[in-house]
């Protein structure tokens, strides 16, 4: 497909995905807030509580029935299409960005996985994720919500680890997000909506509703609530290479998911008590800890504090490895811009140019152009972050940038990035 058309297709689908996603998550957040703020003191007959609110210049009075009103209203608003269209546009976006350009965005360099196989694995992971999740929920674990939640969490962590072995960091993250999104919309389509339709039908037929389906719907709705913040992070994670680009990207994702769940739990419970207020500072400290351990400075500190290699070990270095090191370093103590520029023009400028030569791009990704010395110097911090520290660039390492070339760029920047 023409890269210009792909870019605009990406834009259109992503925009719709964002709009319907906000509508879905916003409705979810609102109803959780509404439930937590109901006035349950001396409710009217048949009600479990009510709430007065003011917004946008108007005053609203909302009432929640213990089960349902004596007769169903003529107009009953359902909340489902936001969820369905969020998933539909998400899958379309997955296809446009990752499946049409699997060699660039999806396959991990050196994994040996073909583009076709990677797409099949990606689609299969979504189906497998929903099937395994649904079977676990319908098993005896469904009556033990805490244990079920822990097992589901570690199942997603295992999926993140497995996918990170064959997919790029970005590809692994987005597929974990897609698995979660599939679980969430599956809950709406297969469990929550049937439970609601069953409730309405029972009321219309003047019979006692079956309590089994509503109980299942409540469990799945609770899962959706706690999965919201982790999936929101994954949606924006491609902007943060220090997470998906790390050697331990799956573990970082697990940590961020835990912090997200802690924050969500506090907001779910704060109206009843403040006993979970500790989750907020714990999440904040966890974020600070992750920022530190993923920092390139932390790894350098580890290298500095490591004991020096013994003399026999040094002598055991192969002549080939020494020759590669010598070829990557200049004769003098400094790295010249000419050496760095040669690497960048060969490895980076096929995409990051005013006129990219790579068939997948009509414009430079993220607007980063590396044609002139001045442009390279201005973007030096980004080049180091993407190609030296996290090694997520070049995408899929299509231009085969070597570790020695990455070190060369890093040394040049450390020495002042002189032109």
Whether 412 has a pLDDT exceeding 50, the answer reads: yes
Judged by DSSP in three states, 59 sits in: strand
Average pLDDT score over the chain: 88
- pLDDT band at residue 1 under the 50/70/90 scheme: low
In the block, tokens 């220090």 appear at: 242
Average pLDDT over residues 81-102: 96
Res. 229 pLDDT band, cuts 50 70 90: very high
Listed ranges 110-119, 175-184, 294-303, 353-362; the one with the highest mean pLDDT: 175-184
Average confidence (pLDDT) over 156-171: 96
Residue 302 has pLDDT above 80, yes or no: no
- Rounded to the nearest 10 degrees, how much is the dihedral formed by the CA atoms of 343, 348, 354, 359? 130
- 308 φ/ψ sector (left φ>0, alpha ψ -120 to 50, else beta): beta
pLDDT number for residue 164: 96
Across-strand partners of 63? 50
pLDDT at 211: 80
- What is d(CA 182, CA 88) in angstroms, rounded to the nearest whole number? 10
> In the structure, what pLDDT confidence band is assigned to residue 339 with cuts at 50, 70 and 90?
very high
CA 395, CA 107: separation in Å to the nearest integer? 10
Written as one string, the DSSP assignment of 12-37 is: HHHHHHHHHHHHHHHHHHHHHHHHHH
* Residue 319 pLDDT > 70: no
pLDDT band of 111, cuts 50, 70, 90: confident
User: How confident is the model at residue 370, as a pLDDT?
Assistant: 93
- Mean pLDDT for 134-156 is 96
Collapsing DSSP states into helix, strand and coil, what is residue 334?
Answer: coil
With a CB cutoff of 8 Å and minimum separation 6, the contacts of 346 are: 399
Determine the pLDDT at residue 410. Answer: 92
Of 53-57, 94-98, 104-108, the least confident: 104-108
Separation of alpha carbons 277 and 273, rounded Å: 9
Q: Is the pLDDT of residue 408 over 50?
A: yes
Average pLDDT over residues 64-68: 86
pLDDT score of 306:
45
What kind and span of H or E run contains 106? Answer: none
pTM reported for the whole predicted model: 0.83
pLDDT at 303: 52
Q: In angstroms, rounded to a whole number, what is the distance separating the alpha carbons of residues 374 and 347?
A: 18
- Main-chain phi, psi angles of 391, to 5 degrees: 60, 30
Check pLDDT > 60 for residue 64: yes
As a residue count, the chain comes to 419
What is the per-residue pLDDT for 332?
47
Q: What is the pLDDT of residue 308?
A: 43
Alpha-carbon distance of 37 to 72, in angstroms, equals 24
């Amino acid at each position: 497909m023409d890269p210009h058309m792909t870019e605009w297709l990406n834009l259109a689908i992503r925009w719709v995905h964002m709009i319907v996603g906000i509508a879905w998550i916003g409705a979810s957040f609102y109803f959780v807030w509404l439930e937590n703020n109901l006035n349950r003191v001396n409710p009217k007959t048949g009600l479990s509580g009510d709430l007065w609110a003011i917004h946008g210049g108007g005053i609203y009075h909302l009432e929640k029935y213990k089960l349902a009103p004596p007769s169903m209203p003529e107009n009953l608003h359902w909340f489902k299409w936001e969820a369905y269209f969020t998933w539909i546009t998400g899958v379309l976006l997955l296809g446009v960005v990752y499946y049409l350009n699997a060699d660039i965005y999806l396959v991990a360099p050196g994994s040996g996985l073909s583009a076709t196989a990677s797409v099949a694995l990606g689609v299969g992971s979504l189906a497998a994720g929903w099937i395994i999740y649904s079977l676990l929920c319908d098993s005896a674990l469904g009556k033990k919500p805490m244990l079920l939640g822990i097992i589901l969490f570690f199942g997603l962590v295992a999926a993140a680890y497995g996918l990170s072995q064959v997919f790029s960091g970005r590809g692994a993250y987005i597929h974990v997000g897609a698995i979660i999104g599939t679980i969430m919309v599956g809950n709406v389509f297969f469990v929550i909506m049937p439970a609601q339709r069953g409730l309405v039908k029972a009321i219309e037929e003047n019979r006692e509703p079956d309590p089994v389906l509503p109980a299942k719907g409540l469990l799945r709705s609770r899962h959706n609530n706690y999965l919201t913040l982790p999936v929101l992070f994954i949606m924006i994670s491609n902007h943060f290479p220090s997470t998906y680009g790390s050697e331990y990207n799956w573990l970082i994702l697990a940590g961020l998911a835990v912090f997200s769940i802690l924050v969500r739990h506090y907001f779910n419970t704060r109206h009843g008590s403040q006993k979970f207020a500790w989750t907020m500072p714990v999440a904040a400290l966890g974020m600070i800890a992750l920022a530190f351990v993923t920092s390139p400075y932390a790894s350098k500190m580890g290298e500095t504090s490591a004991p020096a290699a013994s003399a026999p070990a040094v002598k055991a270095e192969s002549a080939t490895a020494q020759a590669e090191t010598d070829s990557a370093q200049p004769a003098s103590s400094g790295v010249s811009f000419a050496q760095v520029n040669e690497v960048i023009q060969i490895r980076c400028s096929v995409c990051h140019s005013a006129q990219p030569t790579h068939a997948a791009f009509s414009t430079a990704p993220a607007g980063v152009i590396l044609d002139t010395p001045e442009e390279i110097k201005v973007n030096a911090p980004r080049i180091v972050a993407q190609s030296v520290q996290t090694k997520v660039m070049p995408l899929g390492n299509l231009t085969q940038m070597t570790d020695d070339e990455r070190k060369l760029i890093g040394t040049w920047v450390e020495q002042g990035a002189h032109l």
